[in-house]
């Protein structure tokens, strides 16, 4: 008897990316997130490209991938609403609250999610957590506010570091910087998100509680598990 090897993380991402097609509404524009899991969804979406109107994208990277596959990309300002927004997460808890921004696209992700009736999170099972806070929390900030905001996080017990790329602070699609904050415990995601968003210089905090997932398609060793919140 042969036993098959467990699915790799990449294979789990492919499975959930394909499973997300069931939420795409024919004839409509679909909201598309950012990241390696979403890249699998975009590749799967290309097989339906003649059945949809197009996509609203949450990053330059996703836009380029969509367009390379022949999927029209609409400006967010040109749509009133979307039926669905499909995106990955760095962490998702038992209530559908998430940490996002590992790919630095959190601000546009939150904007496109806000346009959508339903957030469908696609993730492999490594992303499922009891409580948010193990993954360093991404916060997009106006560069001149970095040091001040880092001090405010330090006062809460967090250690904030400017995300670097090639020896320079990473610059987001919006021309801003990312602080990654370790050591925080996010016990009340709704209040936490609201509070940090009030700080001068914060563009977007990577807790997605007000824009939480309605559904999570979780890639597990047993296949794709659908969790609704
Ligand atoms: C990008 C994100 C991504 O959804 C998140 O980082 C998960 O990415 P991946 O699917 O590559 O694990 O929030 O800003």
Q: Which of 109, 125, 140, 193 is catalytic?
A: 109
Q: What are the C-alpha distances in Å from 129 to residues 92, 93, 97, 150, 221?
A: 6, 5, 10, 25, 17
Find the distance separating the first CA and the last CA of the chain, reported in whole Å: 40
Tokens representing 200? Answer: 């001068």
Helices marked H in 34-116 — which ranges?
Answer: 36-45, 60-68, 106-115
Give the pLDDT confidence score for residue 5 in this predicted structure: 85
3-state helix, strand, coil in the chain (%, to 5): 35, 30, 35
**Domain extent listing, the chain:** 9-129+210-228, 137-205
**Is CATH 3.40.50.1360 correct for 9-129+210-228?**
yes
What does the pLDDT average to over 50-59?
98
For ligand 1, whether the C-beta of 88 sits within 6 Å is yes
**Confidence band for 2, pLDDT divided at 50, 70 and 90:** low
Q: Look up 109 and say whether it is catalytic.
A: yes
Centre of ligand 1 from the C-alpha of residue 33, in Å: 8
Candidates 173, 192, 201, 33; CA nearest to 104 is 173
For ligand 1, whether the C-beta of 102 sits within 6 Å is yes
CA separation for the pair 105, 149 (Å, rounded): 19
Ligand 1 atom showing the smallest separation from residue 102 Cα:
6
Centre of ligand 1 from the C-alpha of residue 162, in Å: 18
Residue located nearest, by CA, to atom 7 of ligand 1 = 89
Query: Residue 32 gets which letter from DSSP?
Result: E
Query: What's the whole-number average pLDDT of the chain?
Result: 97
Centre of ligand 1 from the C-alpha of residue 97, in Å: 14
Give the pLDDT confidence score for residue 217 in this predicted structure: 98
Q: Look at the domain 137-205 and name its fold.
A: Alpha-Beta Plaits (3.30.70)
Give the pLDDT confidence score for residue 3 in this predicted structure: 66
Residue located nearest, by CA, to atom 5 of ligand 1 = 89
For ligand 1, whether the C-beta of 35 sits within 6 Å is yes
What does the pLDDT average to over 35-55?
98
Give the pLDDT confidence score for residue 215 in this predicted structure: 98
How many percent of the chain have pLDDT more than 90? 97
């Amino acid at each position: 008897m042969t036993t098959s090897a467990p699915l790799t993380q990449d294979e789990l991402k492919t499975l959930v990316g394909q499973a997300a097609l069931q939420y795409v509404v024919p004839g409509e524009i679909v909201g598309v997130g950012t990241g390696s899991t979403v890249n699998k969804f975009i590749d799967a979406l290309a097989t339906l490209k003649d059945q949809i109107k197009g996509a609203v994208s949450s990053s330059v990277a996703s836009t380029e991938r969509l367009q390379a596959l022949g999927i029209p990309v609409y400006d967010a300002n040109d749509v009133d609403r979307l039926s669905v927004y499909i995106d990955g997460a760095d962490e998702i808890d038992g209530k559908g609250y998430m940490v996002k921004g590992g790919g630095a696209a959190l601000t546009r992700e939150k904007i496109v999610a806000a346009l959508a009736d339903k957030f469908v999170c696609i993730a492999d099972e490594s992303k499922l957590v009891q409580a948010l806070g193990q993954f360093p929390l991404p916060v997009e900030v106006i560069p001149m506010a970095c040091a001040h905001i880092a001090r405010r996080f330090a006062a809460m017990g967090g250690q904030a570091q400017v995300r670097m790329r090639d020896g320079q602070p990473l610059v987001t699609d919006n021309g801003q910087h990312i602080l990654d904050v370790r050591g925080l415990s996010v016990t009340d995601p709704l209040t936490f998100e609201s509070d940090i968003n009030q700080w001068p210089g914060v563009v977007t905090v990577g807790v997605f509680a007000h824009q939480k997932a309605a559904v999570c398609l979780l890639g597990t060793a047993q296949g794709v598990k659908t969790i609704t919140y």
